[in-house]
Amino acid sequence: MEEREERLSQERIMEIRYRWSAGPYLGRFLAELRDKGKFYVVRCPGCERFLLPPRIVCSTCYTRIPEYPDGWIALSGRGILLDWQRVIYPQMDPETGEVRDEPFLHGTFRLDHDLLFVHYLGPADLDEGRLQEGMKVEMVMKPQEQREGKVTDIHYFRIVED
């Protein structure tokens, strides 16, 4: 009788804990979002472009960006729907490693000053049939007690009727 050769392999699960510093720019952005529900961008004093998220140097002209509040501008939280993606295949949640089975919508929004931003579209808008490019959207924050200083303190963007 022919013997099948064993192809030995071994499995381990490695759990690693990380803690990342946000720094004064992104840190301030996240703190303002958490504490006041304000969405800040900063204008580069060198080339006048708006930086989202705020960072220490302009990535185009390498000018040093002032710390909050110099040149920091709170956006209105309103914008226009550019496009959306219906995520229908099971996705690993990058925050938890858990698999998300339920479908959800990612939208790309054009905010004030032509800044593009990607976030969820709200559950009320999951019915894709009514979505159209150019619809007006607004930012919906999580309740104060649920905010953690993360970009997901924004709950989602929802479609607002004209």
Partner 1 sequence: MAIRPAIVGVGQTYHRSKRPDVNIGELCTEAVRAALEDAKLPPEKIGAFVVGNMELFEGRYMQDMWQTDFVGAVGKPLIRVTTGGTTGGTLASVAFEHVASGMFDLVMAVGFEKQSEGDTRAGLKTVADPLWNRWQTTGAIGYFARVATFYIKETGAPEDAGSRVRLRLARHAARNPHAHLRMDLESVDQVMKFPYLIPPLRQSDMCPASEGACAIIVASEETARKLPRKPVWVDDWTSVHKEMVYVRGGRHSTADLEMAADRLFRRNGIREPMKDISVAEIYAPATWAELEWLEAYGFCEKGDAWKLEEKGQFHFDGPFPVNPSGGVVCTNPIGATGLIRVAECALQLRGDAGEHQITRKPTRGFSTAWGGSGWTVAHLLSADGL
Phi-psi region of 77 (alpha: psi -120 to 50; beta: other; left: phi over 0): left
Choose which of 66, 68, 71, 108 interacts with partner 1 (CB under 8 A): 108
Q: What is the DSSP string of 97-145?
A: -PEE-S-EEEEEEE-GGG-EEEEEBPGGG--GGG--TT-EEEEEEPPGG
Site membership for partner 1, residue 150 (CB under 8 A): yes
Choose which of 77, 126, 152, 155 interacts with partner 1 (CB under 8 A): 152
Three-class DSSP category at 160: coil
Site membership for partner 1, residue 30 (CB under 8 A): yes
Choose which of 26, 57, 131, 159 interacts with partner 1 (CB under 8 A): 26
Sites for partner 1 among residues 61-80 (CB under 8 A): none
Provide the minimum distance between the beta carbon of 86 and partner 1 in the complex, in angstroms, as a whole number. 6
Sites for partner 1 among residues 35-54 (CB under 8 A): 52-53
Q: Which of 21, 143, 95 is nearest to 30 (CA)?
A: 21
Given strand 40-43, what is the order of strands in its sheet? 50-51, 40-43, 72-74
Site membership for partner 1, residue 140 (CB under 8 A): no
Provide the minimum distance between the beta carbon of 92 and partner 1 in the complex, in angstroms, as a whole number. 6
Q: Which of 43, 29, 32 is nearest to 115 (CA)?
A: 43
In the numeric block, which tokens belong to residue 130?
């009514």
Binding site for partner 1 (CB under 8 A): 7, 9, 14, 18, 20, 22, 26, 30, 52-53, 55, 59-60, 82-83, 85-89, 91-95, 97, 106, 108, 116-120, 150-152
